[in-house]
Amino acid sequence: MRCAYFDAGVCGSCTLLAQPYPAQVADKERRVRVLLGDPAGLTWLPPVTSAEAGFRNKAKMVVAGTADAPTLGILDAHGHGVDLQGCPLYPAPLSDAFPPLAAFVVRAGLTPYDVPARRGELKHLLVTVSPGGELMVRFVLRSTEALARVRKHLPWLREQVPALAVASVNVQPAHAAVLEGDREEVLTERTTLRMHVNGLDLHLRARSFFQTNTEVAAALYRQATAWADEVAPATVWDLYCGVGGFALHMARPGRAVVGVESSAEAVASAEQSAREAGLTGTRFLAGDATAFALAADAAPDLVVVNPPRRGLGEPLSRWLEASGVRRVLYSSCHAASLARDLAAMPSLRPRRAQVLDMFPHTGHYEVLTLLERD
């Protein structure tokens, strides 16, 4: 993939862009194998690769410049805006929305937040595209001062961007490197974006997490479900379940599936998806995954874990080791924390693994591992 911003030295976010893509993927798999120690009895499936361009379903655009000439992109080392509207990582539905969004900033008089001066209102534009081409747009503001103007001019934006399905304002008042705040004002009748993945509609609310690369996420869910179906568990836990991707894919008649997630919004999304799909044997709980496991009377047949970068941590790893659960599916975005967790669960041996290149041109990846108890 060629990128004019990278070539000009104005954006270095894709740190591996100068390396041929096949070499990027091979190097990621080598690093993961080294971190996991490549133990005996572990079978590696071929890596899942991504499209090299146009694969991101979400744009996190810092808004800078002025209310008359905003930039959408990143900040340079001095806190000034670098416009990246032509970034080749974004598919056409996202790229096509950026010029009207920049025009909306001008039309609504939204002053970009000046980080060095600590003044202004509009901090970020967060834009997500569904597989069907619909958009969710979130305006991250410093306060509610501009909320009325966003509401007033939203009909104009919807005329310019017919694919706009969900719009909201997020309030993030702190002068800190924090993407969003706790308050969300949804401005449209629709409150969720439908992410149609492998025949399932996963509902995405404004503050819910979803994998950045839809196609590779679909492959991740398919592989995890195939491994689960081979052993036909009667009971499944999906810990750190997000909007229910793993849990909803693994739902089957006669199989009891429980998803646990700390985000109440994500749980509401998962419940909505389960209702619409008629998956009556699947339920979701808002709460801490570790606390849920430690309070349980018995372990299920299969546990799926998809923790944040820091990993499971010692309490949950210890519980899994002592629980007697026969199999664990561990989806990790950081093999170093995965390796630490595996060291705390010596009875659960890695039997199969696969690297999925969710983030081309960077050092990041996803690795899916099937663990089985000796």
Three-state SS across the chain?
Answer: CCCHHHHHCCCCCCCCCCCCHHHHHHHHHHHHHHHHCCCCCCEECCCECCCCCCCECEEEEEEEECCCCEEEEEECCCCCEEECCCCCCCCHHHHHHHHHHHHHHHHCCCCECECCCCECCEEEEEEEECCCCCEEEEEEECCCCCHHHHHHHHHHHHHHCCCEEEEEEEECCCCCCCCCCCEEEECCCCCCEEEEECCEEEEECCCCCCCCEHHHHHHHHHHHHHHHHHHCCCEEEEECCCCCHHHHHHCCCCCEEEEEECCHHHHHHHHHHHHHHCCCCEEEEECCHHHHHHHCCCCCCEEEECCCCCCCCHHHHHHHHHHCCCEEEEEECCHHHHHHHHHCCCCEEEEEEEEECCCCCCCCCEEEEEEEEC
Catalytic residues: 333
